[in-house]
Amino acid sequence: MEEELEARPGPEPEEELQVRAIRLYLKLGSMAAVGRELGVPLTELHRLSKTVWWQEEMQLIRRAEAAALDAGLTELLGTTLDELKRVLRDGETVFDKNGVAHSKPVSATSLCRIAELVFDKRQIVRGLPTAITEGGKLSELAEKLEALGKAQAAKTIEMEAQPFVEGGEPKQVGKGGEPNA
């Protein structure tokens, strides 16, 4: 038995024009330029740009472009890392005055810079700190609390004991805090 594939309808001519308008807008950044390029009135483009469909389509296109860019950058990074490993292993290619190629070991300074950069980037990818700073937020908080404590101590008022007043008449208080009879 032969299965029939359901044909997905292609975009309507008007929708195709709208998608082209979105792509051009993302590329050019100007509705006026898009209107001139496609021969569509600017008022029509502004009206379309306010629709939910336009906003959703723009997001889809942006995500697709971002994914393509990410893939390209990932490939470039992979190629660069492979070349860096080769140079670290075999040395850099240099040419003498006769144009003959030779391998020169990577300098210690360059190796240190490479190691520092790679370490920092690895820490960032792992979500870990790249440096330890003296003090930091915890020390800053301790200093603020200490200053606050000193400020509160300065506000403390020392008072001497006063006679106990009951019913508005002062009574003498004896040793142990009991009123004298």
Is residue 3 predicted with pLDDT exceeding 60?
no
Examine the fold and report which residue of 90, 122, 147 is the final residue of a domain before the chain moves on: 90
Residue 61 buriedness (CB in 10 A; 0-12 / 13-18 / 19+): middle
**Within a domain: residue 50?**
yes
pLDDT of residue 8: 45
Same domain, 118 and 48: no
CA distance 58 to 32: 17
Query: Is residue 94 within 8 Å of residue 101, measured between CB atoms?
Result: yes
Quick one: average pLDDT of 154-159?
66
Examine the fold and report which residue of 90, 117, 140 is the final residue of a domain before the chain moves on: 90
| Residue 112 belongs to domain spanning | 103-132
CA distance 18 to 44: 10
**Within a domain: residue 162?**
no
Specify the number of domains making up the chain.
Answer: 2
Task: Give the tens place of pLDDT for each residue, 8-20.
Answer: 454 456 788 889 9
Task: Give the tens place of pLDDT for each residue, 40-65.
Answer: 999 999 999 999 999 999 999 999 99
Same domain, 19 and 85: yes
Same domain, 107 and 84: no
Same domain, 51 and 109: no
**Within a domain: residue 170?**
no
Same domain, 83 and 111: no
CA distance 35 to 43: 9
DSSP annotation of 98: T
Query: Is residue 106 within 8 Å of residue 93, measured between CB atoms?
Result: no
Name the least confident of 132-136, 137-141, 162-166, 168-172: 168-172
Is residue 90 predicted with pLDDT exceeding 60?
yes
**Within a domain: residue 41?**
yes
Query: Is residue 163 within 8 Å of residue 171, measured between CB atoms?
Result: yes
Same domain, 79 and 114: no
pLDDT of residue 121: 87
Query: Is residue 164 within 8 Å of residue 171, measured between CB atoms?
Result: yes
**Within a domain: residue 24?**
yes
In the predicted model, what is the mean pLDDT of the chain? Answer: 82
Same domain, 57 and 117: no
Q: How confident is the model at residue 181 (pLDDT cuts 50, 70, 90)?
A: low
Same domain, 23 and 57: yes
Q: How confident is the model at residue 164 (pLDDT cuts 50, 70, 90)?
A: low
Is residue 82 predicted with pLDDT exceeding 90?
yes
Query: Is residue 102 within 8 Å of residue 93, measured between CB atoms?
Result: yes
Same domain, 84 and 24: yes
Examine the fold and report which residue of 90, 124, 149 is the final residue of a domain before the chain moves on: 90
Rg, C-alpha atoms of the chain: 38
Cα angle: 147, vertex 149, 151; to 5 degrees: 70
Same domain, 47 and 115: no
| Stated pTM of the model | 0.49
Give first-to-last CA distance, the chain, whole Å: 117
pLDDT of residue 67: 92
Same domain, 17 and 61: yes
